[in-house]
Amino acid sequence: QLPTGLYKKVLVILHDSILPYMNEPTLMIDFLTVAYGIGGAISLLALNGLFILIHQHNLEYPDFYKKLYSLLDPSIYHVKYRARFFHLADLFLSSSHLPAYLVAAFIKRLSRLALTAPPEALLMVIPFICNLFRRHPACKVLVHRPNGPEDMSEDPYIMEESSPSESRALESSLWEIRSLQNHYHPDVAMAATVLNQSLSEIEDDISGLLELSAYELFDKEVKKKAADVPLEFEQIRGLFGKKNDIFAEHFALD
């Protein structure tokens, strides 16, 4: 039983400062699986160590993707370790052998949570979702469903369902991204319109967007050079600006 603060410190350094120097890294399986089941930021941080054990030491974790899916909650776009989580999620969802219903569930849940996400997170997650469509073309039915959400009396997707296979994501439509096309931030609105067009085969590089902060967005907007806007106006004559005014004959504005 570790205090929460110490738990986080251990998990942050575990993947590169502890596991590589152990003769038997598999001894950490129980510790990491328990940490992964705790939830919140501790589960996010446990992903790094689990990733190494799964890919390098043949760890088989039952219901791994179900647990990963359950980690997606509104806080995922606001936590300190957001970049680390999405980097690993990108790796875990990179296999083309994943079933379409599973990837569709991740796409739909990320899109639904995006409705309350800050702009810096949206500029990262929209290309992330586009990459998932490129890897799994069967999921494009979410975007290109005939008549889309207009003919749906309600969204069949079940947000409260913890199992991706029972969420009915493939029956739904991606109306959330269409809503983001009217976002107050112009960069987000422009990014969301990408799904209206056919996606290129080359994936977007999201590595530079994972660490994007609100300060960087604000700084970028402040440093934009305003374009000169041509204005048509009539130059004022005299004190009151009237053409045939007696004051215009005897007074002038210097």
Dist. CA 72–CA 114, nearest whole Å: 11
Tell me the per-residue pLDDT of 197-214, one tens digit each, with 9 for 90 and over.
Answer: 888 888 888 887 777 888
pLDDT at position 29 is 83
Q: What percent of the chain has pLDDT over 70?
A: 88
Q: Is residue 28 in some structural domain?
A: no
Closest to 191 in 3D by CA, of 174, 178, 202, 207: 178
Q: What is the DSSP string of 14-67?
A: IIIIIGGG-S-GGGGHHHHHHHHHH-HHHHHHHHHHHHHHHHHS----TTHHHH
User: How many domains does the chain fold into?
Assistant: 1
Dist. CA 73–CA 116, nearest whole Å: 11
How many C-beta neighbours within 10 Å does residue 230 have?
5
The residue segments making up the domain with residue 180 are 63-251
Low-confidence ranges of the chain (pLDDT < 70): 146-152, 233-245, 248, 252-254
CB 32 within 8 A of CB 46: yes
Q: Is residue 14 in some structural domain?
A: no
Q: What are phi and psi of 227, to 5 degrees?
A: -75, 145
Q: Is residue 44 in some structural domain?
A: no
Q: Is residue 16 in some structural domain?
A: no
Q: Which residues of 37-60 are buried (b: 16+ CB within 10 A; e: fewer)?
A: eeeebbbbbbbbbbbbbeeeeebe
Residue 162 C-alpha from the chain's centroid: 20
Q: Exposed, middle or buried: residue 176 (CB in 10 Å: 0-12, 13-18, 19+)?
A: buried
The Cα-based distances of 22 to 9, 19, 62, 83 in angstroms read: 18, 5, 24, 27
Tell me the per-residue pLDDT of 31-48, one tens digit each, with 9 for 90 and over.
Answer: 888 888 777 778 888 888
Q: Please tell me what DSSP assigns to residue 195.
A: G
Q: Is residue 240 in some structural domain?
A: yes
Q: Is residue 68 in some structural domain?
A: yes
pLDDT at position 193 is 92
pLDDT at position 182 is 92
Q: Is residue 122 in some structural domain?
A: yes
Q: Is residue 36 in some structural domain?
A: no
